[in-house]
Amino acid sequence: MRGHATKHWLIMQASSLLMLPLSVWLLFSFVENVVFGNGYESAMAWLRNPLHALATTAAVVLAAHHGSNGVISGIFEDYVHHKVLNAIGTTAVKLSAFVLMAVGAGSIAKIYFGV
């Protein structure tokens, strides 16, 4: 019986709950190890840690999903009433989310496995 809006709401709830601890931990770990680190070497070392690689991949996927859903409902559904523009915008945002996930996960995989 769940409609489109309920599903959207549940997804936003679940992704935000997961990102609350994940984002804060990643932010502090990133600042501590990369911002205060030794440039490229520190960035590589940080992302080659399996925990960081996995958490960063999860964060990119969750953020791309949560963000694209938010932009689609909060901007296009609420304010763009022109049907064609709405459809173009919605499709573009959905596509961009896939690009973000693919490039993000692909880059992390390349760093981690050293391909």
Partner 1 sequence: MAKEKANNCAAYARTSKADRPLSPHLFIYRPQLTSGMSIFHKITGIGMYAGLFALVSWLACVAGGKESYYIFSYIANSVVGRIFLIGWTWAFFYHFGCGIRHLLWAAGKCLSLDCVYKTGYVALAFSAIATISLWAVILGNWI
Interface positions with partner 1 (CB under 8 A): 9, 13, 16-17, 20, 23-24, 27, 31, 35-36, 39-40, 43-44, 47, 56, 60, 63-64, 67-68, 70-71, 74-75, 78, 81, 96, 100, 103-104, 106-108, 110-111
Q: Which residues contact 90 (CB under 8 A, 6 or more apart)?
A: 72, 76
Q: How far is the CB of 98 from partner 1 (least distance, A)?
A: 12
Distance between CA atoms of 31 and 49, rounded to whole angstroms? 15
**Choice between 1 and 83, CB closer to partner 1:** 83
Q: How far is the CB of 29 from partner 1 (least distance, A)?
A: 13
The single-letter DSSP state of residue 39 is T
What gap in Å lies between CA 104 and CA 48, rounded to an integer? 14
**Toward partner 1, which CB reaches closer, 29 or 96?**
96
Burial of 5 (0-12, 13-18, 19+ CB in 10 A): exposed
**To the nearest whole angstrom, how small is the minimum distance from the Cβ of residue 27 to partner 1?**
7
